[in-house]
Amino acid sequence: MPHSTRRRVGVAVAVDATPVLCRLVPAVMTLLGRSNWWFARWLDRIVSNFSIEGDEWFRARDEAARGERAEQPTGPAQRVPDDTVPT
């Protein structure tokens, strides 16, 4: 394929994709509403569950930290005497 033909094909693809991605896809998503986010149950069992933002990881980390704090003794040996606290 000559160089100028490749350039023309690239421009045609970009010009064609712009209205589709910027206008058609959002319009169809708006028309579909909540059903746009429907996911088949059988497919949900097959596809692994992952979080892009790591919500589950942060939740597990916070729960583990709360558990460690609950296990630490808070008896008199753990308290700092009042006379050692700077004023």
User: pLDDT class for 50, splitting at 50, 70, 90?
Assistant: confident
pLDDT tens string 14-48: 888 888 888 888 999 999 999 988 888 888 888 87
| Res 74 pLDDT > 60 | no
Length of the chain: 87
Contacts of 1 (CB under 8 A, 6+ apart): 9
